[in-house]
Chains A and B, each alone.
Chain A
Amino acid sequence: MKKTIHIPLGSQHISLLEPVKFKFECENEKIIGVDSDVGFVHRGVERACTTKFKFDGVGYVVARVCGLCAITHSMTYTASIEKMLQTQIPLKAKYLRMLLLELDRIHSHMLCLSHVSENAGFEAIFMRIMGDRELIMEIQELITGNRVQFDFISIGGVNRDISSEHIKKVKEALKVVRSKVDGYIDEFTNNWSLSLKYKNIGVLSLDDAYRFNAIGPLARASGLKIDVRNEIDYLPYSEIGFEMQTSTGGDIHARNVVRLNEIVNSIQMCENILDALPEGEIQTKVKGKPDGEVLVRYEAPRGELAYYVKGGGKPMLDRVRIKTPTFASIPSFSHIFMGSQYADAPAILASFDPCLSCTAK
C-alpha cells in the first residue's frame, strides 16, 4: 500500500480571501482524495427571511448574502414574488435591472481573472485588472448611489431612474473598459504565463460537466450549453444581444476565455440597453400578499442561482430556499481536483471563482 499524506488548503489561504477548506489526500504531489468544509461563515439568512422580515423587506436581506452579486440575489427573489403576485413590471425597469446585472457580471468576472493572474505570479496584470474594475464600480455607484450594496431593485421595479447625463458617463466608461478588455484578451491568449501554463490544468470534460451538474462559466468552458439567461422570459435578454459563450477545453485557460468573452458580450448588452432604453415608469404598484410556491432561476456571474419561495397569503413567508452557484458546484470542484497536482490546486481553485459568502448564506 502506498503511503499518502494529507495537505489542507484553507480555511485561510493566500489564493482566496474567503474561508473554505479542502483537505487533500496526496500520493506524492498527486491529489487522490478531496474533502471539503464550507460552513465557516454560515449566517442563517434563510431562517431570517421567514422569521424576522416581512416579504417586502426580504429582497434587501438576501442582497446581503453576497457582496459581489448582491443585485442578482435581490433580483431573483424579487422576480419570485412578482411571479407569485402576477405582477407585470414596466419595460424600463426590466432594462435597468439587466443593465445593473450585467455590470455586476463584468466586475465579478474581472475579479476572478485578476485572481487567476495573481496565482500565475502575474501580479502586474492582477493590479491592472483590479484598477480597471474600479471603473465599473464607479458606474454602479453613479447609477445606484452605492458601490456594493445597491438596494436598487424592489418589488414592482427599480428604486432609481437613470438621467441622460449618467447615460453619457456610463457609455464613456464602458468604452474605456472595452478597450482594456482587448488588452486582457491578448495577455490571456498570448502570454505563456497565462495561456500555456493553464492549458490542460484543472480539466472538466463535457461528460463530467453533465454528470456533476456543472453550471456557469465552469460548465460552459467544458462545452455544456447552460446559461439561465437563455432559459427565462421575465427579462428580455433576446432583445439586447445576449449570446451564450462556450469553449471546449474544460481547463483553466478555457474558463478564462469564457469569462473574457462574457465580459465583451455584457459590455455590448449594456450599450444596447442604454441605446434602446424605453421611456416610462420604473415602478408599478404591487398589491396582495404572496400565496403559493414558485421557483425562479437566474444566471449569476458564477452560474445558476435559484430561489424557491413559498407563501401562505401572510406578510411573513413560509420558506425561502436559496440555491447558490458555488455551493452546487462543490462536487464538480472536488472531481476536478482529483488527479491534479497539489501545486496547481490554488490556481484551479481561483479559476472556479468560488463565492463562500453565497455558499455559507
Chain B
Amino acid sequence: MKKVESTLENIRDDIKKFYDYKVWHFITMNGVALDGERFEVQWIFSRYEAMDESVIYYTVTEYDKIIPSIEDIIPSSIISQREVVDMFGVKIDGSEAGLYLDADSLQMPLRGCGL
C-alpha cells in the first residue's frame, strides 16, 4: 500500500493526472479522525489485475474546510463522498448530506471517533 500526500488545493489535479480509468480501480473515499479538529481524507485505488497493488492519496485537513469533489473525474466517487459527508459532518462540493443518516440520527458519528 503506497501513500501519496496531497493538499486540498492540489488533490483534484493530482488525481486527474494519476487516474487512468482502465488501469486504476477507485475503491472508495475514506476519513480517519486525527484529533478533535483535524482528519485525514483518503482516496483509495487499486490497479486492475495486479497483485495487491493499491495507492492511497491523502490530505490532512480541518473539519470546517470544504473538500473538493472528484465526481467529474470519477463518477462513482459520489456515493462515498456522500458517506464521508454524513459520517464526519464535513462539506464536500456538490455532495448532499442525508444519504445514510436521517435528521434524528446521531450526527457525524465518526468525528473524533477512535481517539
* A interface with B by C-beta (< 8 Å): 37-39, 42, 44, 46-47, 50-51, 210-213, 215, 225-226, 230-233, 293-295, 297, 304, 306, 308, 310, 316-319, 321, 323, 327-328, 330-332, 360
Report B38-62 residues with CB < 8 Å from chain A CB: 42, 44, 46, 48-54, 56
Looking at chain A's contact residues, is the secondary structure mostly helix, strand, loop, or mixed? mixed
Interface membership of B70, Cβ < 8 A: no
Contact A46 B28 (CB under 8 A): no
- Is B22 in the interface zone, CB < 8 Å from A? yes
B interface residues with partner A (beta carbon < 8 Å):
1, 21-22, 25-28, 30, 32-33, 42, 44, 46, 48-54, 56, 74-76, 78-80, 83, 86-87, 98-102, 105-106, 109-110, 113-115
Q: List the B side residues contacting A46 at CB < 8 Å.
A: 87, 110, 113
* Chain B nearest CB, measured from A266 CB (Å): 21
Does B1 contact A294, Cβ atoms closer than 8 Å? yes
B48, A226: Cβ atoms under 8 Å? yes
| Assembled-state Cα–Cα distance A276/B27 (Å) | 34
Q: A47-B113, A318-B115, A327-B79 are in contact. Are A297 and B99 (CB under 8 A)?
A: no
Q: Give which listed residue, A44, A293, A328, contacts B76 with CB less than 8 A.
A: A328
Give bound CA distance, A233 to B110, whole Å.
32
B100 touches A233 (CB 8 A): no
Q: Are A226 and B27 in contact (CB under 8 A)?
A: no
A231 close to B51 (CB less than 8 A)? yes
For this complex, 5 residue pairs linking A to B, each with C-beta atoms less than 8 Å apart, are A46-B110, A50-B114, A210-B21, A323-B28, A331-B76
A44-B106, A310-B32 given; A37·B75 CB < 8 A: no
Contact A306 B110 (CB under 8 A): no
Q: Is the CB of B54 within 8 A of A295?
A: yes
Which residues from B are CB-within-8-Å of A212?
75-76
A231 pairs with B44, CB closer than 8 A: no
